[in-house]
A and B are shown apart, each in its own frame.
Chain A
Amino acid sequence: MHPDCKQIRRNILMASKASGHGHIPTSFSIVEMIYATYRAMKHNPAEPAWAERDIFILSKGHGALGYYCVLANAGYFPVEAVKTFGAYLSRFGCHPDRRKVPGVEASTGSLGHGIGIAVGMALAFKLRNSPRRVFTLIGDGEANEGSTWEAIMVAVNLGLPNLTILVDFNKSQVRSLPIQNPGERLKAFGCEVHDVDGHDVPELASALQASARGVKAIVANTVKGFGCPTMEENMFEWHRKSPDEKQYDELLRELDARSVAA
């Protein structure tokens, strides 16, 4: 595990315990994806509205806690602030609000929306001949929504090489409507597909940097709750749960037992 990503996970646990709100497993599955994306993007934490920045939209908004901790790691705000996660008058809701959190470009939560907004932004940059790029992260559960596929069809038809769709393939839909072989589906829809280990930062970086002639889709094979076997093996139980003191210590111990790699 990348050392920064391990620290981000520690922060996720800390904020969840402090706030009493969860969504830890889904946040853990996307840490490397968002971390690698922000390393690939042009952005400026000191000036979130910088006119030349690239755009990231977390379409699966319920991964907000992971997103906030990556943004904090990048320098958008102190991670201590995220302890107010979900609290009355906090900036940090359990789904991100672009009007409240520096760096957040679109308010998401209801699934199947952020990706469509991302397509519109990518079209805007194409119309302006701008080099700015747009990245959006969707979940495999989110891919149950028809609007997700509408947006992908439109994006491919418009020809948007400045758009990258990251798919968190954490298989959480196994109990309802699994999205089998998302890479094949995305390819059939016309995307240029990269299939990667979603917890391998260099592999993600390589896919993010690869040139594309059309819409790029990166299928990131991930594990919900990655880093803590307790959550990996009980992802449904932990879906919205926040750890108590004892569980927190145990999860930290499990996390710290993971070896560190670049």
Chain B
Amino acid sequence: MRRQFKDTITDIAARDDRAVVILGDISHYLFSAFQEKHPSRFYNMGICENALISVAAGLSSQGFHPFVHTIAPFITERSLEQIKLDMCYNEFGGNILSCGASFDYAWDGATHHCYSDLEILRLLPGMEVIQPGSRKELDILLRSQYDNGRPTYFKLSDNPHNIDLDVRFGKGVVMKDVGADVTVVTAGPLLANVLEACKDLSVNLLYFHTIKPIDTEIIARFRKTRFLVVHDGFGLREAINEVPGLHTAYHGLPDEFCVWYGTVHDIRKEIGLDPAGIRQAVAGFAAGA
């Protein structure tokens, strides 16, 4: 997905001289061609995430469209106050694109995991929060949102799904509607596992790439069903519950650090977010367990 980010921003920058890339000393060589083409609009600014956001806010205040990029926990959890105040409270926009979604850096341990970003940023007034699941979704959503003057977060993953969806900002997708009394909800790359797990189960399936604003209309259509949110992060279940009166349950992260190393697939299996684990959880929920 990072490569798609590079391709999309390279195309945007060729047509919009207000686009400026700010890296936190990551993906540097990925952007070599961009740097060569637009040297005055490429800054590998250093390992200083607080400053990256503040500087981006300052650039945005003067009409530029900054794209800040570094590892998810450092740019979101560490710089939460800069995003809250310098971007949201000041109403200076900017695009934040992280890498290392949830457990992409499983082998690096809990310091590099990030699963609260969607939730903490969702709480900030004026913030847009996006978890694209595929390269195509990133391309569509980045092009549609980058220049709207609002602070926008894109949670990028190195393990996207490859399901071809035509998406639109702020609109959820009905993947499956079988009239069941259980609706499974997911977001981002985990869709691949959820879809496989549910393929022959009698459940409805909703998919979201935009966490804020959440598509309340599509949720409301299924309000008479019981919802099971299956997600490798926090924020989606909380967003779903913006629609009052829902019966929701959550299958995802445990209340402990996921310190087993390996790959994202190992972590997902350990916590029941592989297809088999999800299938078991959904089947149990549908059976009323």
Q: How many A-B Cβ pairs are below 8 Å?
A: 93
Interface residue from A118, A146, A150 paired with B58 (Cβ < 8 Å): A118
Q: Is A120 part of the contact surface with B, judged by Cβ < 8 Å? A: yes
| Stretch of A40-48, A81-89, A123-131, A183-191 with 4 or more beta carbons under 8 angstroms from chain B | A123-131
Which residues of A lie under 8 Å from residue B57 when comparing CB positions? 116-117, 120
Q: Would B51 and A147 count as touching, CB distance under 8 A?
A: yes
Q: Is A260 part of the contact surface with B, judged by Cβ < 8 Å? A: no
Q: Is A99 part of the contact surface with B, judged by Cβ < 8 Å? A: yes
147-185 of chain A: CB within 8 A of chain B: 147, 150-151, 153-154, 157-158
**CB-nearest residue of chain A relative to B48?**
A150
Which residues of A lie under 8 Å from residue B260 when comparing CB positions? none
In the assembled complex, the CB of A159 is this many whole angstroms from the nearest CB of chain B, namely 12
In the assembled complex, the CB of A78 is this many whole angstroms from the nearest CB of chain B, namely 26
Query: Whole-angstrom distance between the alpha carbons of A80 and B59 in the complex?
Result: 34
Interface residue from A98, A118, A128 paired with B90 (Cβ < 8 Å): A98
Query: Whole-angstrom distance between the alpha carbons of A105 and B86 in the complex?
Result: 12
**CB-nearest residue of chain A relative to B57?**
A117
Q: Would A121 and B62 count as touching, CB distance under 8 A?
A: yes
Which residues of B lie under 8 Å from residue A107 when comparing CB positions? 85, 89-90
Q: Would B91 and A99 count as touching, CB distance under 8 A?
A: yes
Q: Mark A204-218, 1 if CB is under 8 A from B, else 0.
A: 000000000000000
21-54 of chain B: CB within 8 A of chain A: 40-41, 43, 45-46, 48, 50-51, 53-54
Q: Would B63 and A124 count as touching, CB distance under 8 A?
A: yes
Q: Is A6 part of the contact surface with B, judged by Cβ < 8 Å? A: no
Which residues of B lie under 8 Å from residue A15 when comparing CB positions? none
Contact of A158 with B43 at beta-carbon distance under 8 Å, contacts A117-B86, A124-B59, A124-B64 already known: yes
The size class of the interface chain B forms with chain A is 20 to 34
Query: Whole-angstrom distance between the alpha carbons of A123 and B21 in the complex?
Result: 13
Q: Return the 8 tightest CB-CB contacts between A and B, nearest first.
A: A120-B58, A116-B54, A124-B62, A150-B51, A120-B55, A150-B48, A147-B50, A121-B58
Footprint of B on A, CB under 8 Å? Answer: 98-99, 105-107, 109-110, 112-113, 115-125, 127-128, 146-147, 150-151, 153-154, 157-158
Footprint of A on B, CB under 8 Å? Answer: 20, 40-41, 43, 45-46, 48, 50-51, 53-64, 66, 81-82, 85-86, 89-92
Task: Give me 8 A-to-B residue pairs in the complex whose CB atoms sit less than 8 angstroms apart, sorted by A's number.
Answer: A113-B81, A117-B58, A117-B61, A120-B55, A120-B62, A124-B64, A150-B50, A151-B55
Query: Given known contacts A107-B90, A117-B86, A123-B55, what 20 new A-B pairs fall within 8 Å (CB)?
Result: A106-B90, A109-B85, A113-B82, A113-B85, A116-B50, A116-B58, A117-B54, A121-B58, A121-B62, A124-B58, A124-B62, A124-B63, A125-B62, A127-B41, A128-B62, A147-B54, A147-B82, A150-B50, A154-B45, A157-B45
